[in-house]
A and B are shown apart, each in its own frame.
Chain A
Amino acid sequence: DTGVSQDPRHKITKRGQNVTFRCDPISEHNRLYWYRQTLGQGPEFLTYFQNEAQLEKSRLLSDRFSAERPKGSFSTLEIQRTEQGDSAMYLCASSRTTENGYTFGSGTRLTVV
């Protein structure tokens, strides 16, 4: 197991375009999280899944954002009609239910131009 994998590592897109990121968690982890980190700030919670169910969404997650985790395995995060303010590092993490800490992926850096 190579840990939490995120794809792509970098994405540059024009304002108004849609983008989709993928996260492959550690296989035995049933919890999956998405966080966003902007320059000089700590990661901010966006949403989390327990298996395939999306159980919590932050108010940071506007209607333009949608996340899925079909079959409780990999997850996708889609941003529609991107804005310059969406430029950030998008981090995925996973954990077992019994754990308090997460394992993070290396993130996807999004730049909206």
Chain B
Amino acid sequence: DQQVKQNSPSLSVQEGRISILNCDYTNSMFDYFLWYKKYPAEGPTFLISISSIKDKNEDGRFTVFLNKSAKHLSLHIVPSQPGDSAVYFCAASANNNAGNMLTFGGGTRLMVKP
């Protein structure tokens, strides 16, 4: 049972345009959400996060939106740059999870074309 799903395995965007990556979750106990970026042959690197008490968090070109009622979050990258080409994972954790274990989605490969 996949508790975190990224339904688009890949996304292609032109440089300078907006990239929107989507993520859905099923576990209503999740209250903290993160996005990680992964380049080939490297481990995932933390990008941006959001707590369930917020519906938006912005950091430079990256904005994460959370819709708790729909159990949906999205990552917006604007403007997109070729260096953003990577696999993006969303992840979630539950506050009652004392170990802060993360549940990851399957990832979306973003390709930004020059």
Contacts and interface: CB of A to CB of B under 8 A. Distances in A.
A binds B: yes
Interface of A: 4, 31, 33, 40-45, 48, 50, 55-56, 91, 93, 95, 99-107
Contacts, number: 58
6 contacts: A40-B106, A56-B101, A100-B100, A104-B43, A104-B44, A106-B41
Interface residues of B, number: 26
B34 A42 contact: no
A82 B42 CA distance: 24
B49 interface: yes
Interface of B: 4, 6, 9, 32, 34, 36, 41-46, 49, 89, 91, 93, 98-107
B3 to A, nearest CB: 11
Given A100-B34, A101-B34, A101-B49, A43 B44 contact: yes
